[in-house]
Amino acid sequence: MAPNGVSDRSARLPRLIMIRILLLVAMQATLFPGTAFAQLAWDTFSPAQQTYPTATVTIDENMAATTTVLTITTTGATGTVTYSIASSTTAAFTIGASTGVITVNDASLLDREAISFIDLVLQAVDTSPATVSTTVRIDLKDVNEIAPTFSSTSTYSVTISESATVGTTIQALTVTDTDSAATNVACTISSGDPDGKFQFRSDNQTIELKAAIEPDSPTNNSLTYTLTIVCYDNFNGVYSGGSLASTGTVSVSVTPVNDNSPTWGTFTPALATPITTIDENLASGTIFTAAASDVDYGTDGVVTFSFSTVKFNTGADASALFTIGSSSGVVSRTAATTPALDRETYSHVEFVVLAMDSPTVTADRLTITQTVQVNLKDVNEFTPVFDPSTGLYNVSFSETAPAGTLVLNVSVSDPDFSRTAISCTITSGNTLDRFQMRADGTSLELKTQIEPDSPTSDPINYVLTLSCADNTAGTYSGGQKSSTGTVTVWVEYNNDYSPVWSTFSPAWTSATTPISTILENLAVNQTVFTASATDDDAGDDGLVVYSISGAVAENGSSVMEAFAINGSSGAVSIANSTVLDREGYSYVDVTVEARDSPASGTTYTITQTVRIGISDYNEFPPAFTPSTGLYTPAIPETTTAGTAVQTIVATDPDYSNTAVVCAIAAGNSLNRFAINTADKKLVETASVIQPDKPTLDPTIYLLTVHCADMNNGTLGTPVLTSTAYITVNVTLVNDYDPTITLNSTTMVIPEDTSVSSFIVSVTADDLDYGNDGTFTISLSPTTPFALTGDRTKLLLTEALDRETKDSYVIEMRALDQGSPARSSTTTLTVSITDVNDNTPVCSPNTYNVSVTADSAATLVASIPCTDADLGDNQLLAYSFLSGDTRNLTLSSTTGALTTTFLTYDSAAPSKTLVITVRDSATPASAQRTATVTVTVHVLPRNLGPPVWGTFNPPWISATTAINSVSENADEGFAVFTAVAIDYDSGPDGQVIYSLASVTGTDGSTSVDLSSVFNISSSSGQVQVKTKGILDREATPAYTYINFVVQARDNPTTGTPNSIIQTVRVDVTDFNELDPTFTGDPFSATLVEDSAAGTLVKQMVVSDPDSSNTIITCQITSGNDLSLFRTNSANSTIIELNTAIDPDRPKNHPLSYLLIVTCLDNNGAGSYRTATANLSVTITTTNDHTPVVSIPIGSSITLPETQAIGDVADISVVDQDYGTDGTVACSIAPTGTFGLTGCTKLTLVSGLDYPTASSYSLTITAVDSGQRRELAASW
């Protein structure tokens, strides 16, 4: 009906057309399920479009012209889309008509102070034409433009006292920002505060003291600070344009205060009573140095020194003898001589030292005092005296005297009254360390026996210089005083060694092994070998003399006259060479004698049998068989290298030089022959002898061969040779095949090649000599090709037809005239190419087919045609010649005919097409064609269900996660959005979504999770409905969720059509559980001194979360001594960082309580922690032996009248801990002496000099582990 209710055909026609289009779309969706059809709609906005009036994008008010603000696209367009701004509140923007890109057109219209937003109505039109439009809002954002300003000045000066406390106000600033929106200003100190002494209060404009300023030592803060202040607006970044800043300066001066007294430092030497001891005759030098310091700044911290008093222990004044440096504190001796420093009058000097600081106001001075005692020490004055006074001594003894033999008691004494202990040392003449002084200091004895014999070879005369000194314990000042004496020592010889054989030259091995081998004609005086013997005695007792006592040949005959020996050197030489004969024997045994030469007493003699090998001398040259030495062998030309040609029969009459070796001397200029490397008398071929081409070797050779005798691979001496002559004849052999070579073994020619055309070049040859190298060539087949008379070319002899035969394989055979004959064959393949001489053939050439309306890409007919030709001549192309071809596609290469949405027309349900089939010959004028007729009948179509569209996020497959959801996801969390499309109109095209099932699974077990999620029936968005049910650690476990989503249409009548899709969503873990320990509290026991790296405890800790399970641990308490650590590779392992030693002096504790903290998630990101206690107990071992020491030495002298009681201190130390370090002491023998605990040696009964003049006492210390240490005997 027309708007006024009157029937109007012209108004009704467009509605009917529209209805037809809608029905067509619905039919397409029904008949082609899963196929999307285009409809113009908005696709993407960048940034994403927001629901109006919410702003889609916010931009700065000063955005530059041409800057992109928003990009829009459409989908489902027909043809070209044109974009435009249908309306706007301002002309500030423009849009690309083809691109949809919205940019700034006029930046001056973007003024936040004038407007806060701009609304655009956007429109897109395609060529169908279809139109879509939408409204978007663009918000404007204010931009920061003006920097902050200081109210009055940007430069400030402030003075404060050193005693100012933290929080004291330094300077209040007034800084403002005139921007209407960016009024928030914050100031910072950018430089000038290296010590971090200042900060801004929370108002961001008031500077206060952050930390006390301490110019005194050891802090040494500065007294002046120049602070650079930078003040920023918009510091919280609310507005665009960033922050703008202004700079100011605050200068701070600090006034110092004298608030510290001097303090004594480390004296030199360190303070003690006494601090030092000086000689009674000290004339000058430093006594000690006082040290004090004052941490105050400047002159307040300058310290000066002086004496309050200096007195002797008697109270007498001693200030004239000493001075102190006012600034250095050095106390030294003055030049004054009175009163005298006399140890017999005074025992020490007492100094009272005064130290004071130096403030500007004298009344503010602060002082301290220190009393120091210096002791006086007696001085040594006299040197020891010898008896005789010259200090010269002479002694002698036998070389057999053992170590420890007393050589001399030195008589020496010290005239000093209190210093009678003398100790002598050997200062020179004891280079071999053969002498030493006994413990008494005056007894000279043998340290080791003196051995003048070999191999020691000690001297027999020694001149020893002795230095004898008093005051050996260093008890008295003045050092030691000493005197020097001389002791001359003589050692007497004793003959006590027999000669012994040493290394012969050459070396002697055994009596049956030749020491050397000599020629039977060795010249007179030539050395055969040298015997060698040694005698360790010194002097004539060790002199060795040699002689020969016998010489017997292998056959038992004596050959004494053949040899002589040098009596002093032992060299054995030839005396008469005519006696030796290799043909009679192979060796001679010589007996050598060696004896020593003592002046008196027993003479010692030794003997040795030495075997000498006798070698042959070369006398005869080789002899041939036959005796002429002439040989005439023959060999064929095919003989290979290394083939025997002639063996020379040669022998040598000599005894040993019987081997014969030969060499070719002449006739081998081409090196065709050689002597065999193994058989030196065998002549063999060195290479193939080839008379054939191209070598053309000779067939006769005359070789001259020299042969020499030799023995064991060595030529005879002298070299003796003989000459042989060998004539070698080479016989011919037919050993080469004739050869045929073509310039190509494959040829391609067209089938219309003319007769007599050249096909291929031929080269033939035979390398054999004479008739063996003459040959003939034959062809198979014999047609349609033949050779030219000179056998150099192959020609075509008959016309070709590819359709009859498309290739030929020609065999060429060459046969020579040798006996036996040899031949070879070469094959040529000739391929025939096509010429276009056949028309395409199509069978059938008429088709009747049916197709359903609106079918997309439906195959209507396949048109198979063939062409007997090859290549492009056979390649066919298909094209329409006539008929209605709309919505039809013809493949030009295969002839496949397909539809593209053919519409049904009841008035004309069929169309007839004529198709041309053409081959692809070149040129086009040579192409041949055929035609095919096709009649297409169009049938009507029905409706279909919804189809899935693009999910958000996109769906890939049922086994690929579309998204992930955390196990603690909030209610309303959007998991994904399902999208389905139904191209029907009205309710038939309405899509309704539902969840068929929701199942959590790990691939093997499953859990129903339908109560956790819901889906919007209209939008398809799946959300979390109930928080707290998802549990990644649940049992049975699930790591992902399968959603089965259903989409159905909503038809007015009939059964709805539906589709389903399985969607996978991964469940991600949330770190919600702390690590847990198994076995907490832990305990461990270690033995003391266990090495660093020793395992203390493996902490058993795990994390119940399904992820975040990487545990890292650290010791957070109880490790103050750093004795423990975590293993670098596995931090749950606690190990020793260093050995624990409870013994002295380290005194480590025996028990420890370690707090170990473990973090999950590898200690990164959002991690959780747990702590455990580890108790470590150390067990001790008795690993130290008690040490007994006697401070006064290993001897003590007591008067016979010594009173009963303690007589000496002893010291016993055991470093072990506890009872292991508890020591009990005992003494042996008992009776006269005893012990007071382990600290005193005690006289328990009176001494009687005539009865006992000395005692040897042994002190035994035993700890609880029964370890013991014996003191040196007293």
690-716 pLDDT per residue, tens = 888 888 888 899 999 999 888 777 787
* pLDDT greater than 70 at residue 1163: no
- What is the topology classification, in CATH, of domain 500-615? Immunoglobulin-like (2.60.40)
Q: Which two tokens stand for residue 317?
A: 């004044």
Place 408 in a pLDDT band, splitting at 50, 70 and 90: very high
Query: Do 551 and 562 meet the contact criterion of CB atoms below 8 Å apart?
Result: yes
Token pair 């035969």 is found at 805
pLDDT of residue 1108: 65
pLDDT of residue 530: 95
Claim: this prediction has a pTM higher than 0.85 = no
pLDDT of residue 1134: 94
Strand duo 1082-1087 + 1169-1179: pairing: parallel
Convert the pLDDT of each residue in 242-255 to its tens digit: 778 889 999 999 88
Lowest mean pLDDT among 174-188, 418-432, 975-989: 174-188
Convert the pLDDT of each residue in 555-603 to its tens digit: 999 999 999 999 999 999 999 988 888 878 889 999 999 998 887 778 8
pLDDT of residue 195: 87
- What is the topology classification, in CATH, of domain 149-255? Immunoglobulin-like (2.60.40)
pLDDT of residue 868: 85
Torsion (CA) 659, 660, 661, 662 in degrees, nearest 10: -170
Which has the higher per-residue pLDDT, 229 or 52? 229
The Cα–Cα gap between 376 and 282 comes to 9
Query: Do 740 and 786 meet the contact criterion of CB atoms below 8 Å apart?
Result: no
Domain 1076-1179 part of CATH 3.90.1150.10 = no
Half-sphere exposure of 290 (CA within 13 A, CB side): 30
Strand duo 198-200 + 206-209: pairing: antiparallel
Give whichever of 130-134, 663-667, 772-776 has the largest mean pLDDT: 663-667
Lowest mean pLDDT among 29-38, 129-138, 486-495: 29-38
* pLDDT greater than 80 at residue 36: no
- Report domain 387-465+477-492's class: mainly beta
Q: Which two tokens stand for residue 82?
A: 């044109």
CATH number of 947-1068: 2.60.40.60
Residues of the chain within CATH 2.60.40.60 domain(s) are 38-141, 149-255, 263-377, 387-465+477-492, 500-615, 628-731, 739-833, 841-939, 947-1068, 1076-1179, 1187-1270
Which has the higher per-residue pLDDT, 607 or 282? 607
Q: What percentage of residues in the chain have a pLDDT greater than 90?
A: 42
Amino acid at 524: V
User: Region 49-53: what's the mean pLDDT?
Assistant: 85
Mean pLDDT of the chain: 85
Q: What percentage of residues in the chain have a pLDDT greater than 70?
A: 92
- Report domain 1187-1270's class: mainly beta
Rg (the chain; Cα; Å): 63
Query: Do 735 and 769 meet the contact criterion of CB atoms below 8 Å apart?
Result: no
Q: Which two tokens stand for residue 54?
A: 């919410």
pLDDT of residue 217: 81
Domain 739-833: homologous superfamily in CATH:
Cadherins (2.60.40.60)
pLDDT of residue 19: 26
Domain 841-939 part of CATH 2.60.40.10 = no
Q: What is the three-class DSSP state of 740?
A: strand
* pLDDT greater than 70 at residue 614: yes
Lowest mean pLDDT among 495-504, 528-537, 817-826, 844-853: 844-853
Lowest mean pLDDT among 55-69, 235-249, 364-378, 416-430: 235-249
pLDDT of residue 853: 64
The Cα–Cα gap between 566 and 592 comes to 11
CATH number assigned to the domain with residue range 263-377, chosen from the 4 options 2.30.110.10, 3.30.420.40, 2.60.40.60, 1.20.1530.20:
2.60.40.60
Q: What is the three-class DSSP state of 639?
A: coil
Domain 628-731: homologous superfamily in CATH:
Cadherins (2.60.40.60)
Place 202 in a pLDDT band, splitting at 50, 70 and 90: confident
* pLDDT greater than 50 at residue 1247: yes
Alpha helices in 1081-1192 (DSSP H): none
* pLDDT greater than 50 at residue 33: no
Lowest mean pLDDT among 824-833, 1169-1178, 1246-1255: 1246-1255
Query: Do 704 and 759 meet the contact criterion of CB atoms below 8 Å apart?
Result: no
Go through 858-877 and write b for each residue having 16 or more CB atoms within 10 A of its CB, e for each that does not. eebbebebebebbeebbebb
CATH number assigned to the domain with residue range 38-141, chosen from the 4 options 2.40.110.10, 3.90.1150.10, 2.60.40.60, 3.40.50.720:
2.60.40.60
Give whichever of 311-325, 456-470, 493-507 has the largest mean pLDDT: 311-325
